[in-house]
Structure 1
C-alpha cells in the first residue's frame, strides 16, 4: 500500500483528500505544521507528499526546500492563490506539480497517481542501460545521472524529462508533448510547468545554464537534446 503524507492545517480539506485517497487504496498520514511534516517525512518515508503553501510556523515553500535537501519524494503543492508567482516558486524549489484551491478531488487523485507512476517508472528492455554524452552519464535502469563522475540529484519528473529527450537526440518535442509524456494527463494552456522543470534540469546539468550544451530550446516549438557529441 502506497503512503501519502498530507500537509495542511485546514481540517475540511484534509478530510476531503483523505477520504478520496483511502477509497483509492492509499495509506494516509497527516501533518498540520511545517516542522511536524519534516519530522513525519523522516520516520515514515512517504511515497508522495501533498503540501499546502500556507502553513503555520514554516510555509510550504520552506518545507519543500528542506525536504529537497535530503529527499526526491514526489511533492504536489496546494495553493490558494491563482497567481503565477506561487506556482513558479514552488516548481523552482523542487515541487513536481501543483494544484490551486479550490480543486476537484478526482483531479488531485489523478495527479497523485500520475506522479507516482513517474516515480516508480521501470524501463522496458532496452538496447543499452547507459547513455554517455561527453562527461554526462545516464543510467536508465537505475534512473541515475552523473556529471564528470559526480551524482546529479534529479527528481522523478526531472529524470523523465531528461530521459525522453536524451533517448531521442535531435528530435524536437513540443511542450505539450512533454506534458503528455511526463505527467500523463492534459495540461493544456499551462506549459510553464515544462519550462520551469527544464530550467531546473539545466541548473543541475549545465556549466552555464544560460548557454546549455545538452537541452536546446527550439524557439517557438519546444526542446531537443543535442545530437552531436559534446
Structure 2
C-alpha cells in the first residue's frame, strides 16, 4: 500500500471521525484520521483531493458517502468496524435505520467495485477492508 500524505485533511470527514471518537471515548491515536492525497492499493486508487476512485485504471463514480465509507475502511485496512461505528463516522448522526443504510451503501460499493475484486469483507463484528493481495488464493 502506498499512502501519499497531504497537508490538509478533508475537514468534513475529519469532524465526523472525531465525533465518533468522542462518542466512543476512543483516543485519537487509536484510529488515525487519514490526511492524504492518494491512497494506492493493488487494483484500487483513492484520490483524497478530487474524491475520485479508479479500479484497475478505470474511473469509478461514487457518491460522497460511498467515497467516505470506502476511505474509512481502506485507510484502516484489516480493522473491523461495526455498522454503528461506520454510520457515526461517515454520516455523523444516529438513526433507526443505521444497519440498513450501512448495509445498502456497502452493497452499492461492492457492485461499483466488482471489477476490482472483493475489498470489503463482512465479518461477525461488521466490515473490514482487505487488500487484493490478501484476497489472492495463491
Structure 1 gaps, min length 5 = 1-119
The aligned runs of 1:136-215 (5 Å cut-off) are 136-188=44-96, 190-207=98-115, 213-215=118-120
The aligned runs of 1:63-78 (5 Å cut-off) are none
Give the RMSD, CA atoms, in angstroms.
Answer: 2.6
Conserved in 2, the CA contact under 8 Å of 1:215 and 1:225?
yes
Conserved in 2, the CA contact under 8 Å of 1:172 and 1:218?
yes
1:217 pairs with 2:107: no
Shift of 1:183: 1.1
Conserved in 1, the CA contact under 8 Å of 2:119 and 2:132?
no
Shift of 1:218: 0.5
Structure with more relative contact order (C-alpha pairs < 8 Å, separation 6 or more): 2
Say which one has the larger Rg: 1
1:140-186 superposed Cα distances (whole Å, 9 cap, x missing partner): 12211001111100000100100000000011100000110111111
The aligned runs of 1:39-54 (5 Å cut-off) are none
SS at match of 2:45: strand
Structure 2 gaps, min length 5 = 1-10, 15-32
State the aligned residue count.
107
- The runs of at least 4 aligned residues of structure 1 exceeding 3 Å deviation read 120-125
Q: Distance in 2 between matches of 1:228 and 1:132?
A: 12
Q: Distance in 1 between matches of 2:13 and 2:128?
A: 23
Q: Distance in 1 between matches of 2:13 and 2:82?
A: 24
